[in-house]
């Protein structure tokens, strides 16, 4: 048995990272086999010269075919500070 969900990266007013500037947005369908509990989704970050500190953005799983707790449907991702100081 398989189930699929929509996966999207985004940022909102609570996040410091900016979609398209600090990371490349991803929108895709992920499919889990019945025995799978994790899937790796590569998300590219973008370098800049701005001294910004650690920033965050969100990965959201929506429209699941199987029930997912709402609290498990959003993952907060940190982009660690690697800017020149």
Q: How confident is the model at residue 1 (pLDDT cuts 50, 70, 90)?
A: very low
The domain defined by 2-79 carries CATH number 2.60.40.2030 = yes
pTM, two decimal places: 0.69
| 30 touches 41 (CB < 8 A) | yes
Q: What is the pLDDT of residues 11-66, one digit of tens each?
A: 766 668 888 888 888 888 888 787 877 888 888 888 877 777 888 888 887 766 66
Better-predicted residue by pLDDT, 84 or 34: 34
The DSSP secondary-structure symbol of 72 reads: G
> Domain residues of the chain, as ranges?
2-79
């Amino acid at each position: 048995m398989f189930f699929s969900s929509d996966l999207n990266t985004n940022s909102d007013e609570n996040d410091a990272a900016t979609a398209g500037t600090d990371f490349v947005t991803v929108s895709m369908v992920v499919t889990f086999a019945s025995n799978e509990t994790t899937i790796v989704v590569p998300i590219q970050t973008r370098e800049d010269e701005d001294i910004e500190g650690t920033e965050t953005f969100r990965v959201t799983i929506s429209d699941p075919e199987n029930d997912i707790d709402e609290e498990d449907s959003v993952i907060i991702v940190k982009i660690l500070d690697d800017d020149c100081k």
